[in-house]
Structure 1
Amino acid sequence: MTWHDHANDRVENRSKFPRWVVRLGLLAVTLLCLSPWTGTASAHGSVVDPASRNYGCWQRWGSDFQNPAMQQQDPMCWQAWQHNPNAMWNWNGLYRNGAAGNFQAVVPDGQLCSAGRTESGRYNSMDTVGAWKTKDVSSNFTLNLNDQARHGADYLLVYVSRQGVNPVTQPLRWSDMQLLTKTGRYAPGDTYKVNLSTSGLTGHHVVYTIWQASHMDQTFFFCSDVNFR
């Protein structure tokens, strides 16, 4: 082997090493982005029972999100994963800042479940009309909100869609929702429970929860699909 051959080998080796480093770095970034415990996913909270739409998708598919069976078995979650997987990895980052209590001004009709297309549209798929998976509930049930960050709550507003509104075929509007309760304050904790009572509701409805956090003017919005038996 000539001196020039050795030199060429050194140049080739030097050129390959950075490519390997870049590939490894890209792989690490990809895995980091797919991790369910990155970003806001450990920073805030969500309604966990009855599960909000994106929390429910994360529960059912977070460990199996590349399974093609999702498309047939859970098509609303499938479209959500296709649109933006981070809506599920960041299942507890669905919030807006600075609403000052004027929620209908910042969250337009048809965008209730995405909090007005918050977070640069990350959660837009939550507004998609269709047969979201439901949880069977009775006329009296308990809502559980998980507060990982222990923000506390100034109050919770809990609405339910009116009888005759079909969330499978109709985008949700504010006029479609009836207020069930406005709670008092919750001291910072892990779980906030709300006992709810309804009357005359049957079939698929959406429970809409607004959580006004106490640590700053930060408001969370959650759609949970239920089936009144």
Structure 2
Amino acid sequence: MHTKKDTAGHTRWAGRALVLASVPLLGLTALAAPASAHGSIVDPASRNYGCWERWGDDHLNPDMEQEDPMCAQAWEDNPNAMWNWNGLYRNGVGGDHQGHVPDGTLCSGGNTEGGRYDSLDAVGPWQTTPVDDDFTLHLYDQASHGADYFLVYVTEEGFDPATEPLGWDDLELVETPGYHAPANDIYIDVSTTGRTGHHVVFTVWKASHMDQNYYLCSDVDFG
């Protein structure tokens, strides 16, 4: 199952790179996006990867505002948050994640990259991926950085991502996977209990090649 999905994802990336080259209004920063390849959680999709996956080849479609309003506001705020879906990280954190990423800015990595990803902190009805209590995170690491560790959090039952900004006190740490060798695809098994409806899975990925830290919000629905 994973092999089929990964192949399709790589095909989408190649196809949308061609689309990218045909959209001059996005400017040189968008055209440079593939050169800064790093990675993200692609299943359940991080917010900006999901917006790129659903709308990357149709991002000017006015229907997005009604069908996917949170992605619409993200594209309007800064399209490069989606073209650079693999670049949401902070360097030099020294393990002090809460000190560098304040409450309300978790999904943007503490307003990292000059605020490029700030739209991902917006409160509202983000599209969700259905999951069970036990599910698997798929990290696609284009640069094969590997990981010193991951911290996987899930919002507490009762927290409403559609009406409340995300803070550290809203999260429960559920998995702490350690070292992973460099690879394009890393899978993390996650076990939870007692959750229903819309939640946020917040993944901190500490890459192995340097003090580079990724902060990734995935919206899920436990049913």
Give the structure-2-normalised TM-score.
Answer: 0.87
Q: Deviations over 1:139-172 (max 9, x none)?
A: 0100000000011100111000000000000000
What amino acid is the match of 1:204? H
SS in 2 for 1:58: helix
AA aligned opposite 2:95: G
Structure 2 unaligned runs (5+)? 1-20
Q: 1:35 to 1:217 in 2, by over 3 A?
A: closer
- CA contact under 8 A between 1:205 and 1:226: conserved in structure 2? yes
Q: For the structure 1 residues 29 and 81, does the alpha-carbon distance in structure 2 shift closer, same or farther, using more than 3 Å as the test? A: closer
Indicate the SS of the match to 1:78. Answer: helix
Specify the structure having the higher radius of gyration (Cα). Answer: 1
Shift of 1:43: 1.4
Aligned to 1:129: 123
**Structure-2 separation of matches of 1:28 and 1:56:** 21
Map of 1:202 onto structure 2: 196
Question: 2:60 & 2:23 partners in 1: Cα distance?
Answer: 18
Identical-residue share of aligned pairs (%): 60
Name the structure 1 match of 2:87.
Answer: 93
Which of 48, 59, 76 is equivalent to 1:54? 48
The more displaced of 37-46 and 73-82 is 37-46
- Contact persistence 1:152–1:189 (CA under 8 A): yes
Aligned structure 1 segments of 4 or more residues deviating by more than 4 angstroms: 34-37
Change (3 A) 1:165 1:114: same
How much is the aligned-residue C-alpha RMSD, in angstroms? 1.9
| 1:172/1:32 CA distance change after superposition, 3 Å | closer
Query: Structure 1: 5+ residue runs without aligned partners?
Result: 1-26
* Structure 2 residue identity aligned to 1:144: H
| Amino acid corresponding to residue 57 of structure 2 in structure 1 | S
- Across the two proteins, how many residue pairs are aligned to each other? 203
- For 1:71 and 1:28, how far apart are their aligned partners in 2? 23
Q: 2:107–2:215: 8 Å Cα contact kept in structure 1? A: yes
